[in-house]
Amino acid sequence: MTYSEAEIAATIDHAILKPKLTRSEVDAELDVAVQWKVFSVCVRPSDIPYVAERLAGTGVAVGTVIGFPHGTTSTAAKVAEVRQALADGAVELDMVLNIGWLRSGFDDAVEADIRAVVAAADGHVVKVIFETSYLDADEIVRACRATEAAGADFVKTSTGFGGGGATLEDVRLMRASVGPDVQVKSSGGVRSLERAVAMLDAGCTRLGTSATATILGEARAIAEGRSATGAVDDTSY
């Protein structure tokens, strides 16, 4: 398929999650998100109030993470995080499922954990992070089933901190393992236009990346190159 620069930007959750980032570095990343008109930023929970105020009126949504990055906090703690995040101005939530529970076969507990977060989100978008590099195919399928049964909106590959990142094989498996009402987000290793397009072609509707400027810069350069050579400029890739 082909995608315009704007279409790709509309799939990007610009990740601003590294623990060492200073406020000035966060500001620089927020500027990137606004400049490239991405769908949202995904920020550290403690940054939400500042980011929500700074991005007000820009059209860039504010998301955050829950139970991040390991997924092993209690359900009650995840619910408390959700409520605080929404009060602070977040509108989307990327939660990490309890990976150890999933690998232990405690699927009912995994589903209940997700369901509690979905209930606390009160209609806001919930994406469930699997950390697919830790899972085999059967575990990914079971995670998809638990996520869909719990009422979440997205299945998501990775935190970006677990090693391995997203693979096309895992994305295709996730897309095939949920119904049409559940979307797929790829994160971890999406750092080029070629990779972003491949993930979209595999069935993703959202991309988590900190390489926004690189991806969309490549897209723009291709479009400008077509225009400069006199080719028909459909600004799609």
Catalytically active residues are: 94, 156, 185
Query: Other C-beta atoms within 10 Å of 166: how many?
Result: 27
- Region of 37 (left: φ > 0; alpha: ψ -120 to 50; beta: rest) is left
Which residues contact residue 51 at a Cβ distance below 8 angstroms, ignoring those fewer than 6 apart? Answer: 16, 26, 30, 41, 43, 62, 89
User: At CA 153, angle to CA 149 and CA 159, rounded to 5?
Assistant: 105
Q: Across the chain, where does the E strand assignment appear?
A: 12-16, 40-43, 61-66, 92-96, 125-129, 154-156, 183-187, 206-209
Give the bridge partners for 129, in sequence order.
96, 156
Q: Judge contact between 207 and 174, C-beta under 8 A.
A: no
Q: Measuring CA to CA, which residue among 148, 226, 211 is closest to residue 184? A: 148
- Tally the C-alpha atoms within 13 A of residue 119's C-alpha that lie toward its C-beta: 12
